Amino acid sequence: MMRQIWIDRTGEVDVLEVREVSRPDPGPGQVRVHVAAAGVNFADVMMRRGLYPDAPKLPAVAGYEVAGTVDAVGSGVDEQLSGAAVVAMCNFGGYSEYVCLPRELVWELPGQVDPVAAAAVPVNYLTAWQMVRVMAPIAEGDLVLIHSAAGGVGQAVIQLCHLAGARVIGSASPGKHAFLKEQGLVHVFDSNRRDFAGEIMDVTDGRGVDVALEPRHGRWIMENYHSLAKCGRLVLFGFSSAAIGRRSGTLSALRTLARVPWFRLNPITLMNDNKSIAGVNLGRMWDQGERTSKWMADLLEMLADGRISPVIDEVIPFDEAGRAHRRLEDRLNVGKVILVPRKAASA
């Protein structure tokens, strides 16, 4: 038997239910991972709210990433992998004590990497990598604007930017500003400020930023666009404005979509302004395994040698999964929230 966190219906955090279920057996080409830590992501919150289009039909188990130990392998998989410490990606199902996954979605951990740190890497750091290394590559001296800078993706972006020699401006709730300034951000402002483009222009002496990274969508898109310098790149990587506490639902999603500047940003505008817009959704990269595996290998090497170090907000047991979701939904977290199957001390 094993423990899993199930979602039977959409709603508040009380729909998260820990159940005892049968332990799965790995099929051909699969490995079974005994999970030590599972990452919590905003996609999980939106799935619970019924706002995530790629989520499986309910009832289902959330969770995109896990770290732990391989305890069984299916046919066609090298048996020497048994007992290896690994990190893995899941197309949902990660809130489990054991999970069976395709071998190609499982990576051995180098050295003595802590599973909690490892579980914080796949979604956040692959998203950050795709944005600042692939879609909008940054260079030394570039100025990058990241919103929700204290969150898991924001923290990953900041670390990758610093490694590249880029400077960072961030937005976050005021209580997180001191923390972000300690991380070397050149400027921090309130993430609730709607007219921040003017402030960005003041801070940059009228130049703007080279890259802006926006997870909220909707009405925030145009303000970011106005914050860009010539040849600036805007990357959209989320839809979090649709899920804000107890006001979340279909209506909040429709409001967010209604505020997208569908007609104001068109090919002619982009050409005349010498700017570009890109989008990132890691959940639509499952068919790009060869490419993302290379990114993951580089990130794990950087994790092992200390060039990246995930900021862990809190480690929370399965029985308190609702509290984990609340930290993301209410924007309380600084860094990554991690779930563990059994009781564990908070980070």
Q: What mean pLDDT is predicted for residues 206-224?
A: 94
Q: What is the pLDDT of residue 347?
A: 44
Collapsed DSSP state (helix, strand, coil) of residue 295? helix
Q: What is the pLDDT of residue 253?
A: 73
CB of 68 within 8 A of CB of 97?
no
Q: Which of 196-200, 203-207, 215-219, 238-242 has the lowest mean pLDDT?
A: 238-242
Q: Which of 82-91, 93-102, 174-183, 213-222 has the lowest mean pLDDT?
A: 213-222
The pair of three-digit structure tokens given for residue 84, joined into one six-digit string = 């290896």
The pair of three-digit structure tokens given for residue 223, joined into one six-digit string = 């303000």
Query: Is it true that the peptide bond before 59 is cis, omega within 30 degrees of 0?
Result: yes
Give the ranges where the chain is alpha helix by DSSP (H). Answer: 42-49, 115-119, 122-129, 152-164, 177-182, 196-203, 220-226, 250-258, 267-273, 289-304, 321-329
In a domain, 170, yes or no: yes
Q: What is the pLDDT of residue 343?
A: 62
CB of 257 within 8 A of CB of 218?
yes
Please tell me whether residues 198 and 92 are part of one structural domain: no
Q: What mean pLDDT is predicted for residues 157-183?
A: 98
* Average pLDDT, rounded, for the chain: 94
Q: Residue 107 CB: number of other CB atoms within 10 A?
A: 20
Please tell me whether residues 25 and 116 are part of one structural domain: yes
Q: How do beta strands 143-146 and 209-214 pair?
A: parallel
**Does the pLDDT value for residue 52 go beyond 70?**
yes
Instruction: Please give the model's pTM, rounded to 2 decimal places.
Output: 0.94
In a domain, 300, yes or no: no
Name the residue type at position 343. K
Q: Which of 13-22, 73-82, 129-138, 251-260 has the lowest mean pLDDT?
A: 251-260
Please tell me whether residues 30 and 138 are part of one structural domain: no
Residue that terminates a domain, selected from 283, 301, 324? 283
In a domain, 165, yes or no: yes
- What are the backbone dihedrals phi and psi of residue 255, each rounded to the nearest 5 degrees, phi first? -60, -45
20, β-bridge pairs:
3
Please tell me whether residues 168 and 259 are part of one structural domain: yes
Please tell me whether residues 191 and 43 are part of one structural domain: no
In a domain, 234, yes or no: yes
SS (H, E, C) 72-108: EECCCCCHHHCCCEEEEECCCCCCECEEEEEHHHEEE
∠ at Cα 127 (227, 197), nearest 5°? Answer: 10
In a domain, 293, yes or no: no
Query: pLDDT for 287-312, tens place per residue?
Result: 999 999 999 999 999 999 999 999 99
Q: What is the pLDDT of residue 249?
A: 67
In a domain, 274, yes or no: yes
Query: pLDDT for 137-155, tens place per residue?
Result: 999 999 999 999 999 999 9
Q: What is the pLDDT of residue 184?
A: 97
**Structural domains of the chain, count:** 2
What's the pLDDT band for 244 if we cut at 50, 70, 90? Answer: low
- Distance (Å, rounded) from C-alpha 297 to C-alpha 204? 36
**Does the pLDDT value for residue 345 go beyond 60?**
no
Please tell me whether residues 212 and 262 are part of one structural domain: yes
In a domain, 194, yes or no: yes
Which CATH number covers residue 221? Answer: 3.40.50.720
Name the residue type at position 160. L
Q: What mean pLDDT is predicted for residues 284-289?
A: 95
Q: What is the pLDDT of residue 256?
A: 72
Q: What is the pLDDT of residue 44?
A: 96
Please tell me whether residues 23 and 158 are part of one structural domain: no
- What are the backbone dihedrals phi and psi of residue 23, each rounded to the nearest 5 degrees, phi first? -70, 130
Collapsed DSSP state (helix, strand, coil) of residue 279? strand
What's the pLDDT band for 248 if we cut at 50, 70, 90? Answer: low
**Does the pLDDT value for residue 47 go beyond 90?**
yes
In a domain, 304, yes or no: no
Residue 34 lies in domain: 2-120+310-340
- What are the backbone dihedrals phi and psi of residue 209, each rounded to the nearest 5 degrees, phi first? -100, 155
